[in-house]
Structure 1
Amino acid sequence: MLSNTLGRGAGWLRANRLGLFCLAIVVGIGAGLGAAAFRYLIYGFTWLATGHDEFGQQGWVASDHLPWLGIGFFVVSPVIGGLLYGPLISRFAREARGHGVPEVMIAVAENGGRIRPQVTVVKALASALCIGTGGSVGREGPIVQIGAALASSFGQWVRMPENRLRVLVACGAAGGISATFNAPITGVFFAVELILRELSVEAIFTIMLSAMVADVISRVFFGSAPFLTQLPTGIALDHIANYVLVALLAAIAGAIGVLFKSVLYKTEDLCDRVWGQRPDWARPAVGGIVLGLLLLAVPQLYGVGYPVMYAAFAGHYALWFLVILAAGKMLACSLTIGIGGSGGVFAPSLFVGATSGMAFGLIVHQIIGPGAGDPALYAIVGMGAVFASAARAPLTALASTVEMTGDFTLTLPVMLAVAVGTTVSRALSYGTIYTTKLLRRGIDIERPTPTHAFANLTAADAMHPFSVPLDLAGHRGDADRDWTTLLGPVTRVRQPQALFANDSLAQALRQLVLYGRDGLPVIDTDARHVQGWLTNQNVLRAVDAYLADVQPDIAASHRAAGWADPRANTAEHDPHSQLAGYQIVEHTLTPASGAVGRLVGELDWPPGHFPVSVLHKRQLVDADATVRLSAGDRLSVLVPRNGTDTKESDGSSSR
């Protein structure tokens, strides 16, 4: 009886849109509870190792629970942690290794949203152990993978279709980010920009619902205050000229974000070469010795590092030490992941941005004086810009910075910073800190697709161009000439629809389906000249060429930022507009036609007459000058309406 009831319930959830919304609420609750449990798990393991809920700002202070180790604790702790989480990952869920987000991205892009259920538990335990024992990584990547795996498990249990399962996985990611940062808007943007990578009304509403519910659950445990509660008060941009300094910092941060990505994967490659074919389960423990030596040199790199960020915002560190912290965090995070640790790169990128931005603020304050503004302002701007550069998710970077600080007066400088940082990053490299992991496996989720081609290419890109543009003012055609003798009988006359040169291929294809029996004329945006002729085959050839030849760095930049080709950025034209002054005359060549056996280019066409297409041996081809005509061919000619004595037909003739 219970199994039948559950089966009917699962069937209702699959079949109804309301069922997806109900599951989104369940996923939001699960993600909120999961985020809270994960944070407490990190606090617990950190307390067991150090005697503190969060550790790092204390500097050389040794563990309260292992005082006999002294500062040697910083070397021993990562080794002990590696001995615990290394076998756990190796035995139960290898995908829990690393920063987690790429695994969720590939699950959505390639695997229909399917993630193994055990990833939820293994990722939570492994990441909490790694961070608690000194791993210099973030907790946001793991909670994204935890929430996504939880959502995928729910969806697979009810056998949700793949298109909706992917949306549910994005809901889990959004819920995790929302709950861990108390930032629901950030969660939504993160899920859409980085996980789902597409936008629909149903998906955005569902993701918003899950993020909202997760945030409400999280507030029960952690309150409703902004995540970064220990910032100095009164941070503001004092003068509009300081936007120049913000832009300069953003450009530097863009380069730092790319550097962070390079250090991360070069360190991982080095660790792979050094470790070789030895057992993976032992790699974190052995590599923990090297990580421990780095922590021994700079203890502030222990764990996630939020207390250190608070101290940096408050101005507790000298300029030289801020530079060490920024460089050290990149190296410590890269080393933690390279040796097989489990944790995210979101928080480390914020750490690097905050410390490097604070260093920049101190420098310009010393050079310019108080007019440069509070150095903490540049720390916040740098925080957003470095993440925007590393992840190329400008909306997520903007929302996270503003929501985490709770200061919406920073919107404009942060907006400028993330835009500049993303642009610099896109110009310097292909692949983000997340997608590069997939590229190294031979998977490019940002590769051009036919969908992008239909949006980015225009009718002008695909058309067969006329040798000389046809003036729409029209020409007097040769009305006395007997064209039926040369070309055969007129089988159809129709008024052509007009395609504009800057219409996207998607727009053009819709009109071809409705009106383009043998193609349509393409006119310029001023509607003064006919530039060429477009057929279905032209469209397919253009799409094929786009997929083969498009520059990947340009295409990736446009997609990551949501940009379209500027030529396609035009309003929809009326699909019923017709080409005034011209008509398409179709001739079916008989054996007696004078054109049979001759090339199209050999025919003496009067002014204003353009052959546009030939149905030759049941294949529609461009009326190129080299096409040799045969009996039975159907030749379409664009002619002035006042230049023919044929009468317009109703278009009812058969093909």
Structure 2
Amino acid sequence: MAWFPFWQRWQQWLRSRHYGRTAIDSRYAIAEACVIGFVSALAALVIKNGVNWLGSSRLSLADTYGAIWVLPCFGLVFGGLAGALIEQFSRPAGGGGIPQVKAALARYPIPLDWRVAVVKLLGTVLVLGGGMTLGRRAPTVHIGAALAAQLSRWFPTSPEHRRQMIAAGAAAGLAAGFTTPIAGVLFVVEELMRDVSSLTLETAIVASFVGAVTSLVFQSSDLNLAHSLSNSPTVRFTTGEIPFYLLLGILAGILGVLLNRSILSLQNWQRKQNLSLVIRIGVVGLISGVAIALLPSFFRDNAGLREFVTSGELSWHQVVLTLVAHFILTILAYSTDAPGGLFAPALVMGSALGYLVGEFGSYWQDQVTQTTFALAGMGAFFTSVVRVPVTAIIIVFELTGNFNVVLPLMVACATSYLVAESLFPRSLYDHLLETKGIFLAEEKPDHDFLADIRAGQVMKTEVESLEQSLTLAQVLPIMSNSHHRGFPVVQGGKLVGVFTQTDLANAAQESVHIALKQIMTPNPITVDPEAPLSDVLYLLNRYQLSRLPVVEGDNKLVGIITRTDIIREEVSQLGGQIIHPPHPAYSVYQTRSPLVGEGRILLPIRDSDSALVLFQIAAAIAKKQNYEIDCLQVVKVSKAQSPSVQRVQWQRQRQLMQKLERIARHQRVLFHTEIKLAYSITDTILDTIQTRHSDLLILEWQGEMPIGGQIFGQITDRLIDQAPCSLLMVKQGTNDHAYPRYLSPMAHWLMPVAGGPNIEKMLNLLPALFSLYPEENNPQLLISKVYLPRQSQRYDPFYDLKNLAERWSEQLQRPIIPIPVCSTSIADALSDLAEMRECAAIVLGASREGLLKNVIHGNLPTQIASQTNTTVFIFRGPVDSPNEEAIVPPLAPDFGLDE
């Protein structure tokens, strides 16, 4: 249990040491890159040893019991296990992994964390150990990036720094997989990030070096690079061979394009069949096992096949068979989204193609060596598939350790790249991302001007602060009279902490004479005046803050910066025009009735359990007020691609809508329906209110205590704050009666009052709600006011309540019973009264009081809802102007419920 305080102290120390800097200290970045390189190398070694052990067991059993039985079974069983593992625990861990890393570095919200790394590692071992024709290097890149992303969450970083750490992890993964540190760095620069800034290169180089060294330490007794192809015959290159290297580049470009197109076509076909990964990977594993069992025995050593080709141990007939079989099996395996890469298969196919071209050239020139062509073919085919010619050259060079191979590699790779780009532009990874709706711009993205603006240029220098020597009793009036929700706490001009409404809520049980320094939050997150606004905005979003103190030197408070300050600066930079970004939503189902109503009710629904109840309430109001009902269901989708191209199962929502349509026709209610796929539920509801000109929004409320600083919950709080129309929240009761859950025959309705405007407006909806009852079972309305014992000495609460009951009785044409209650707790008094009178519903008017009373006295509506089994209604009238304060529930005993 002592771990948690230690972790909190560690986080506080990091924040105080790190966030006040103008930029991320390179020492932290280098240290983090070392850790990333080490853990990435360990993951690569685990994969290598795991694949070797499982593969050796597979071949040993095949020799004992027969390959035709063992190899297909291994492919089917372990392929199916890998598919189940991915589907059950982490879908982003499927596929090669390079597209996911590339999208994450392009700032798409692609999951990268420890779960992805673990599932990827296990899935790769199962797939490759089961005999599928894929490689392990691309998964190590994915795993390295995922581990780096997870580590960057534990260390305080900016978004740009996190991207650089992810790139470093990818470089370390490739360096450890091939033991090629230079190629790891170049692959990040050439394909993944296309960034040559100093910090990117530094961290990538360090991570690659550490990854390669760690891999060597655990595999050999020295640190000399083990060139796996160094035992090949002497590499020679003459000018007379150039035409054959050009031919090799052309053939590699054509075959690479054919491979890419075949993978995309087969993958698209498989996804249209809606097959699970278990079936897709398992079946292809079975096919691969059968094929390998029928092929010559040398084909079963997938890891050593490249060396067989380059060393000239195979005849040209066997090399042709290797190329064709590897080509087909790689297409089948990669199209299933199995966790495996194309690096190793591309090198094998390239070496086979190069050997064949060299064999052809040997008939024309005696000095042609097939080995040199095999090495050049590796780079050419790799270039055609991945479109990274420089990385391909360096990988083959580092694998051979022979500089003489560079010139033939350059000729073949350049030709292959030109041919492939002419036939099928961009790499396979870009096309795979496009099938998921992710389009990476070829040109350099627009420069983020927020990175050039400093906090000191935008901050407010006049800061309302509190001295730490103040008491809680002295602080309360200051917070009540201020529109701020948090204050820096200073001592002698130096920042020592912050005091927010959360701290105030935590101190609700403390004495009012307690000193501020005992209840404030010490060591707050701060920024330096030279910190870029992009980093400030990241910190505000990551920690859900509304403001950050700006300090310099020895924690001297010089200003404060808020979200509003950043927005104002963005508007200024955009030429003074506020650009409202669209909230993408795509309508997949819609019905419309004639537009003849005098108003509109917007009814967002979630599930069938609550939909019928909310519909009955909305229908009753619509019939009384001559309104129409807009019924909306929002299905939240991933931001990784446009809603219009995402495949989502929404048949269940359509069936619910059609059921409500039938009920609406039976009750003769004007009813419109719509199902939308959208990124944000709240934004879609707000947009619908604007476009449909809604007059009333009816929301379901669970009545549970929300987390954090929320009052009703994240979505509901935003709608209360921003929806311009009237709003009715309904928390369903749990009483089990013959009538629906929100109705109880011959029951009372309780309406607490305090003289506010919202409860008056709610009276207009009561006749509609009462009409849900049979006329003989119409409920009685009780109005109540809770007052403190000391208030009874100043006035007669019953007199005021009786006059109000008489006035409302005339308006509603029904008797109203006034009940004053004396108590020190509003929630307890109303809950007890509702239980004693067997009330079917409690009607509350939302308050226009600020959040201060909410944090002092607690969330009163939630307290009432949790203490009773009755239905609770909360009504808030329309917002008159955009500058009006956010409407929140009432919370002070001195003010009642609707002040």
TM-score by length of 2: 0.47
Residue 242 of structure 1: aligned partner = 241
Matches within 5 A, 1:119-268: 119-223=116-220, 224-229=224-229, 231-237=231-237, 239-268=238-267
Aligned residue for 2:304, secondary structure, equals: helix
Within 1, Cα distance between the matches of 2:108 and 2:67?
A: 48
Equivalent position of 2:70 in the other structure: 73
Whole-angstrom distance in 2 between the partners of 1:303 and 1:120: 28
Q: What corresponds to 1:598 in structure 2?
A: none
- Residue among 30, 37, 47 paired with 1:38: 47
Tell me which amino acid in the other structure corresponds to 2:187: F
C-alpha spacing 1:323/1:9, structure 2 compared with 1 (3 Å) = farther
C-alpha displacement at 1:299, in angstroms? 5.5
Q: Which has the higher helix share?
A: 1
Identical columns (%): 26
CA contact (8 A) 1:93 1:122 kept: yes
Alpha-carbon shift at residue 244 of structure 1 (Å)? 2.6
1:21 correspondence with 2:30: yes
Asked whether 1:6 is paired with 2:10, we answer yes
Partner AA of 1:209 in structure 2: V
Preserved CA contact (<8 Å) 2:41 2:212: yes
1:173, 1:304 → 2: CA distance? 27
Counterpart for residue 88 of structure 2: 91
Q: Does residue 389 of the first structure (1) align with residue 384 of the second (2)?
A: yes
Bigger shift: 228-237 or 381-390?
228-237
In the other structure, the counterpart of 2:622 is none
Higher strand residue share: 2
SS at match of 1:430: coil
Give secondary structure in 2 for the equivalent of 1:63: helix
Unaligned runs of 5+ in 1: 52-61, 453-536, 538-655
Q: Deviations over 1:36-69 (max 9, x none)?
A: 1221111122123223xxxxxxxxxx624xx224
Q: Shift in Å at residue 118 of structure 1?
A: 0.3
Residue 378 in 1 paired to residue 387 in 2? no
RMSD of aligned C-alpha atoms? 2.3
Amino acid aligned to 1:226: A
Specify the code of the residue in structure 2 equivalent to 1:233: P
Question: Contact conserved, 2:168 with 2:204, CA < 8 A, in 1?
Answer: yes
Instruction: Work out which of the two has the higher radius of gyration on C-alpha atoms and give 1 or 2.
Output: 2
Aligned CA distance change for structure 1 residues 278 and 268 (closer, same or farther; 3 Å): closer
| Greater shift in the superposed pair: 420-429 or 241-250 | 241-250
Instruction: After TM superposition, give the deviation of residue 209 of structure 1 in Å.
Output: 1.0
Report 1:602-621 matches (<5 A).
none
Q: Distance in 2 between matches of 1:203 and 1:113?
A: 20
Moved more, 103-112 or 175-184: 103-112
Q: Deviations over 1:320-359 (max 9, x none)?
A: 3312211221211121122342100011111110011111
Give the match's secondary structure for 1:368: coil
Residue 222 of structure 1: SS of its match in structure 2? coil
Report whether the alignment pairs 1:357 with 2:366.
no
Aligned residues: 437
Q: Give the whole-Å Cα distance in 2 for the aligned partners of 1:235 and 1:270.
A: 44
Shift of 1:259: 1.5
Deviation at 1:194, TM superposition (A): 1.7
Deviation track 1:613-653 (CA, whole Å, cap 9, x = no partner) reads xxxxxxxxxxxxxxxxxxxxxxxxxxxxxxxxxxxxxxxxx
Structure 2 residue 48 is matched with structure 1 residue 48: no
Cα 1:138–1:243 shift into 2, 3 Å = same
Q: CA deviation at 1:314?
A: 2.0
In the alignment, residue 397 of structure 2 is paired with which amino acid?
Answer: V
Deviates more, 1:224-233 or 1:121-130: 224-233
Distance 1:292 1:212 in 2: 37
Q: Is the 8 A contact 2:117 2:142 kept in 1?
A: yes
Question: Which structure carries more relative contact order (alpha carbon 8 Å, separation 6+)?
Answer: 1
Aligned counterpart for 1:344 among listed residues 331, 337, 341:
341
Distance (whole Å) between structure 1 residues aligned to residue 269 and residue 110 of structure 2? 32
State the match for 1:427 in structure 2: 422
**Counterpart among 92, 100, 112 of residue 97 in structure 2:** 100
> CA–CA distance in 2 between the matches of 1:138 and 1:301?
17
In structure 2, distance between residues paired with 1:9 and 1:251? 58
Residue by residue over 1:116-155, the C-alpha shift from the partner in whole angstroms, topping out at 9 and shown as x without a partner, is: 3201110000011100011100000110011110000001
Where do residues 406-417 of structure 1 align in structure 2 (5 Å cutoff)?
406-417=401-412
Partner of 1:610: none
Asked whether the 8 Å contact 2:100–2:110 carries over to 1, the reply is no
Task: Say whether the 8 Å CA contact 2:62–2:69 is kept in structure 1.
Answer: no
Q: Is the 8 A contact 2:233 2:371 kept in 1?
A: no
Task: Find the aligned partners of 1:267 and 1:155 in 2 and give their Cα distance.
Answer: 37
Residue in structure 2 matched with residue 321 of structure 1 by the alignment: 318
The answer on whether the counterparts of 1:77 and 1:292 sit within 8 Å (CA) in structure 2 is yes
For 2:18 and 2:394, how far apart are their aligned partners in 1?
A: 32
Q: Which residue of 2 aligns with 1:484?
A: none
For residues 227 and 259 of structure 2, what CA distance do their matches in structure 1 show? 24
Partner secondary structure for residue 440 of structure 2 = coil
- Specify every segment of 5 or more residues in structure 2 that has no aligned partner in the other structure, as ranges: 448-573, 575-899
**1:174 offset after TM fit, Å?**
0.6
Aligned partner of residue 370 in structure 1, secondary structure: coil
Range moving further from structure 2, 344-353 or 302-311:
302-311
Asked whether the 8 Å contact 2:74–2:286 carries over to 1, the reply is: no
CA distance in 1 between partners of 2:436 and 2:143 (Å) = 22
Distance, in Å, in 2 between the alignment partners of 1:246 and 1:323 is 18
Report the CA distance shift for 1:301/1:393 in structure 2 as closer, same or farther (over 3 A). Answer: farther
> TM (normalized to structure 1)?
0.63
CA, structure 1 residues 160+179, in 2 after alignment: closer, same or farther (shift >3 Å)? same
Give the corresponding residue for 2:533. none
- Structure 1 position 272, deviation (Å): 3.1
Q: Which amino acid aligns with 2:259?
A: F
Paired with 1:219 and 1:233, the residues of 2 have a C-alpha distance of: 25
For 2:197, the aligned partner's letter is: S
C-alpha distance 2-450 of structure 1, shift in aligned 2 (>3 A)? closer
Q: Is the 8 A contact 1:36 1:218 kept in 2?
A: yes
**Greater Cα offset, 257-266 or 161-170:** 257-266
1:226-271 per-residue CA deviation (whole Å, 9 max, x = no partner) reads: 342464231221x222223222211221112111211222222333
Cα 1:311–1:76, aligned 2, differ >3 Å: closer, same or farther? Answer: same
The answer for the alignment partner of 2:802 in structure 1 is none
| Secondary structure of 1:19's aligned partner | helix
| Separation of aligned partners in 2, 1:182 and 1:288 | 28
Q: What residue identity is the alignment partner of 1:7?
A: Q
344 and 323 in structure 1: CA distance in 2 versus 1, 3 angstrom threshold:
same
Q: Equivalent residue for 2:776?
A: none
